[in-house]
Structure 1
Amino acid sequence: MAVYTEVTDEELDTFIGSYDVGRLLSFKGIAEGVENSNFLVHTDKASYILTLYEKRVNPDDLPYFLNLLEHLAAKGLSCPTPVPSKDGKLLGKLAGRPAALVTFLEGMWVKRPRAGHCAELGRAMAELHLDGKDYDGYRKNALDVSGWRPLYEQCGARSDSVQPGLGDEISRELDHLEACWPSDLPSGVIHADLFPDNVFFLGDELSGLIDFYFACNDAFAYDVAICLNAWCFELDGSFNVTKAKALLKGYTAVRPLSDGEFRALPTLCRGAALRFLLTRLYDWLSVPEGALVTPKDPLEYLKKLRFHQAVESAEDYGLTQ
């Protein structure tokens, strides 16, 4: 369960009282998520999501995230909208943690996405990229190619305890990606974590994007690569080109890819696979005893990485120029 900080009834009642959202009726912890403590809050006016930002989130980044959500919502993108307190602040403090209240989005995430869901995602992601173009905030991607080797070095020789030879395989891939990572692609605000559980649907229609706490400024096509990894592989590890084609068609119908993005896509997909392999590996090796969160299997992304290593062109993902 992703509730790391417990909140007393009295603390919560005082916190909610600082907002013009009505009288508190109930609240409960939300089990999903791995970064922050989240609660579903019901008042006599509406429902909200309360997030307490844990130590893994840099408090200095919070204005970027919250102002971005305000900006995107004003553009018409369906995403949680921060609720200002009575004194106009988007960020407060609760139980010793920075905290924010955001609007509640109706919908559910899809555990087994179909091609139609992937197409909807592609369109929404492209709209996010376009809507964020005039956002004046900037946040470097802390987990871009320059951050992967330091993360790997924190795992060190322990990597081979997960699978023999894993350390050497990661080291070779780092050498390759550091040498050929593209630096001149169209860039701007990206979500950087659009996994299925961060995309809500009502039936087959996308109803909103959530959890922007990895959002940053980076290459748009890198966001696409993250989604190809997260949405287009089946449970047996096979790549579903029909889903990939739908995702890419949905995206390019709103924002066409440049020639440079087309050529770079296989490299970007390798990088996205390595990024999540490394963060999962770090978490796998760093879970404290008695923790309530089960870390995700890093080897899932090793299999995806090996698939992308054999890809020769973006056409292998179903994309045509």
Structure 2
Amino acid sequence: MAVYTQVSAEEMGVLLARYDAGTLVSAKGIAEGVENSNYLVDTTTDRFILTLYEKRVDVGDLPFFMKLLDHLADAGNPVPRAIKDKQGVQIQQVAGRSACLIEFLSGVSVSHPTAPQARAAGAALGQMHKALDGFEGARPNTMGIGDWHALAARCGDDLDAIAPGLGARVADELTYLDQHWPTDLPRSVVHADLFPDNVLMLGDQVTGVIDFYFACTEIRAWDVAVTHAAWCFENDGSGFHRDRSDALIAGYEDSHGLSPEERAAFIALARGACLRFLLTRAWDWLNTPADAMVTRKDPLAFLRRLDFYRDAPAGSLID
């Protein structure tokens, strides 16, 4: 469940009075997600998402996220803006939390993408990257390669409680990535978390890209690798789907494209994507109480992906 902070009807009414958004009809907590508290809000005039930012989102980063979403929306990308109130303010205070009233986008997140849906996601990612070529904002990646050693050290020997030998496997991978991580590829602001549950679809059409709270300045092609790892396997990390892989890359090529240098580095970038999510999931697995109202995500799902990329011949995934 992703409602950590309860908001009363009276508090919602006070918030909505700041906007030209009608009056409250209903509000329902949204269970999906683990980072923030989210409510589906219906008014007499429209439907919105109310997001309250919990401890994992640095409120100092919110102006960057708002500027990013406005930039992408202005360029025609299907992203939800934070709505400005009558005074032009986007970031509010609700129930002791920083909060935003956000545009509602139609669509559903798919749990088992098809190849056409993967192609549409790849195209949407490329369109975002194209739009961000001229974006002046920047934010450090707090989950980048420089942070993985520290996170692995914090997990320590407890990694082996998740799976025997996992600590040694992580150490080996860190050594490999230290030696092979590219340093001269183009960088830009990237989404960094484009899993299927962060893409809304109607049929094979992308109607929304959401949850930009890991967006940061990073190697642009790493964003493609993260998306590839998220979309091209079964949810447990098994069963690589070559048709989804080919389709996703084709969609990205249609709207942006990869350079020869980015293609050559793709396996290393994908291995880095897998290690990043393996480690953050491992940390959450080890530090989330079993009775918490948050579903822990299996770190081994990304170990299986990592093993696939490790064994994939160079150039075998991107022609």
1:45 matches 2:49? no
More moved, 226-235 vs 95-104? 226-235
Match of 1:110 in 2: 110
Question: Map of 1:239-318 to 2, 5 A cutoff?
Answer: 239-288=240-289, 290-314=291-315, 316-317=316-317
Distance 2:220 2:235 in 1: 27
- State the partner residue of 1:204: 204
Gaps of at least 5 residues in structure 2 are: none
- Partners of 1:157 and 1:18 lie apart in 2 by 51
State the AA in 1 paired with 2:106.
E
Residue-by-residue CA offset, 1:152-180 (whole Å, 9 max, x unaligned): 11111111111111111101111111222
**How far has the Cα of 1:185 moved from its partner?**
0.9
Q: Deviations over 1:96-128 (max 9, x none)?
A: 111001100000111110100010011100000
Q: Tell me the equivalent position of 1:152.
A: 152
Deviations 1:229-265 (A, max 9, x none): 1110125702111110110011011112111101000
Q: CA RMSD in A?
A: 1.1
SS in 2 for 1:35: coil
Match of 1:131 in 2: 131
TM-score, normalised to structure 2's length? 0.97
Residues 23-51 of structure 1: CA deviation (Å, up to 9, x unaligned): 11110100100110011011111100110
What is the rounded CA distance, in whole Å, between the counterparts of 2:36 and 2:235 in structure 1?
27
The 1-side partners of 2:8 and 2:157 are apart by 42
Cα offset, 1:59, TM superposition = 0.9
| Amino acid of the structure 2 residue aligned with 1:110 | V
TM-superposition CA deviations, 1:200-222 (whole Å, max 9, x none) = 11112111111111111111210
The correspondence of residues 42-81 of structure 1 with structure 2, limited to 5 A, is 42-81=42-81
Q: Deviation of residue 288 (structure 1)?
A: 3.2
The whole-number CA distance in structure 1 between the counterparts of 2:55 and 2:217 is 22
Number of positions where the alignment pairs a residue of Structure 1 with one of Structure 2:
318
Structure 1, gaps ≥5 residues long: none
Q: CA shift at 1:223, angstroms?
A: 0.7
In structure 2, what is the Cα distance between the partners aligned to 1:7 and 1:189?
33
Shift of 1:8: 1.6
TM-score, with structure 1 as normaliser? 0.97
Native 8 Å contact 2:235 2:301 kept in 1: no
> Which segment is superposed worse, 19-28 or 287-296?
287-296
Q: Which residue is equivalent to 2:84?
A: 84
Code of the residue aligned with 2:227 in structure 1: it is C
